Amino acid sequence: MKRREFLRRGALLAGGTLLSARVAFAHADPRSSRFVLVMLRGALDGLASVPPLADPDYAGLRRELALHPAGEAAGALPLDGFFGLHPALGFLHDCYGARELVVLHALASPYRERSHFDGQDVLENGTPRPHALQSGWLNRALAAAPARGAREAGVSVGQNVPLVMRGPASVTSWSPSKLVALDDETLARVTELYAGDALLASRLADALAADAIASGEGGEAAVTMPQAAAAGAKGKARYTEVVRAAAAFLRPDEGPKVAVFDTSGWDTHANEGGAQGLLAARLAELDAGLSMLRQELGPVWKDTAVLLLTEFGRTAAINGTRGTDHGTATAAFLLGGAVAGGRVIVDWPGLSRRALYQGRDLAPTLDVRSVLKGILAEHLTVPSRALELEVFPDSAAARALRGLTRT
């Protein structure tokens, strides 16, 4: 680490020899860099995923959902002594230990309202305003990046090409052939929608009961299977096709170097749970999916950076339905063999009433565009000028956060 730091500084001081120094000493050739963007749609609870265990106001705000300190039964996984990691994120914790995970906290996009649609639009279009552009920052970055040989620089894996990947650069896409299992959260909302309709409500209840019997859920297996193992198995199923496809596109040297896929089910308004429960199960699925991604990427994992982003965070305090509502700042994760990890990067604003944004949300102290600029500039060698002008218009205040990757 010390040596790498020294080399980096040396290279920077040498100025003109930066490029040759990189090729000679750096961890990976930037031309082989892979980047995966995972969108967490629905607003991930950053305070539950990366709990600030040592913050004096944390336990009081989260009450019965507060995670126990590391070392206690069902406690959080230890990070830097101040923050922990949700206990369902075992693979991410291993990455942290291997210095392949950077946790970013108290970060937010420029969006300050509370609509999922507009929040996701801002996160994807790369401007400060919803619907300001009909293309995404990742696509524009690919258009500005030096050509890497592949006909299509990026691939979108899933049922549609998300806004972040649309634009002037030619990208390819891949959809799973089968209809994937219906999202639990979507199903819960459909169930809610049928509450006032006796016929549809009872038909749906019948269908769900039949599905449960067919899949073995609710039988003896569910009783004997530990929750984590069950979630792991389910996550494997949910992410298997998508993760395998993304890795298959990224592995070959001549293929696309950038992939994007969506995840959903993070909108935890009710019964969010703590160490176990709704969010824990979702996080366990995601964790299992990422573990599989590492496995599937095999030898190119060392060249890969995977970024997990969500549109905004959730309220600092829990609500009347044991969940959390739409908030502002949240956490993000950057993992992979190319990541200069083992760090939590944060300017922690605190959780006191005075410190909270509008008296209710974790306050943002890091602009997500700073993180994106740093990754795009250093990992994908997108020219700084293009980042400022085309990729992130009106973002001068968000200076690139450097040193996130080893490339």
Partner 1 sequence: MVSSFRGLSVPVEADRAALAPFEVLGQRTWQPGSPAGWPDRSTDWDGASALMKRIRWADAVGARLGSRRDALQLAPQLLGANLSTATGEAVMHASSAAQALTLLLASPEFMRR
Residues that bind partner 1 (CB under 8 A): 41-43, 116-117, 120, 158-163, 175, 179-180, 182-183, 185-187, 189-190, 192-194, 196-197, 199-200, 203-204, 206-208, 210-211, 262, 264-267
Angle at 40 between CA 38 and CA 42, to 5 degrees: 160
Task: Report the alpha-carbon distance of residue 9 to residue 17 in Å, rounded.
Answer: 12
CB-nearer residue toward partner 1: 175 or 227: 175
The widest CA-to-CA distance across the chain, in whole angstroms, is 74
CB-nearer residue toward partner 1: 93 or 326: 326
Written as one string, the DSSP assignment of 80-96 is: SSS-EE-TT-HHHHHHH
Reference 362, options 329, 332, 325, 333; nearest CA is: 329
CB 90 within 8 A of CB 106: no
CB-nearer residue toward partner 1: 180 or 355: 180
Written as one string, the DSSP assignment of 252-307 is: STTS-SEEEEEEE-----S---SSSSHHHHHHHHHHHHHHHHHHHHGGGGGGEEEE
Find the helix or strand (DSSP H, E) in which 374 lies: helix 368-378
> In the bound complex, what is the minimum distance in angstroms from residue 210's beta carbon to partner 1?
6
Q: What values do phi and psi take at 174, rounded to 5?
A: -145, 130
CB-nearer residue toward partner 1: 162 or 274: 162
Instruction: Give Cα separations from 118 to 111, 213, 324, 379 (angstroms).
Output: 8, 39, 19, 28
* Buried/exposed code over 253-281 (b: 16+ C-beta within 10 A; e: otherwise): eebbbbbbbbbebbbbbeebbbbebbbbb
CB-nearer residue toward partner 1: 140 or 326: 326
CB-nearer residue toward partner 1: 268 or 304: 268
CB-nearer residue toward partner 1: 267 or 296: 267
* Buried/exposed code over 137-157 (b: 16+ C-beta within 10 A; e: otherwise): bbbbbbbbbeebebebbbbbb
> In the bound complex, what is the minimum distance in angstroms from residue 104's beta carbon to partner 1?
22
> In the bound complex, what is the minimum distance in angstroms from residue 180's beta carbon to partner 1?
8
- Cα 333 → chain centroid: 6
> In the bound complex, what is the minimum distance in angstroms from residue 390's beta carbon to partner 1?
22
> In the bound complex, what is the minimum distance in angstroms from residue 323's beta carbon to partner 1?
12
Tokens encoding 87 = 């206990």
Q: Where are the beta strands (DSSP E) in 47-191?
A: 77-78, 84-85, 101-108, 154-157, 171-174
> In the bound complex, what is the minimum distance in angstroms from residue 156's beta carbon to partner 1?
11
> In the bound complex, what is the minimum distance in angstroms from residue 153's beta carbon to partner 1?
20
CB-nearer residue toward partner 1: 62 or 326: 326
CB-nearer residue toward partner 1: 207 or 222: 207
> In the bound complex, what is the minimum distance in angstroms from residue 120's beta carbon to partner 1?
7
> In the bound complex, what is the minimum distance in angstroms from residue 232's beta carbon to partner 1?
23
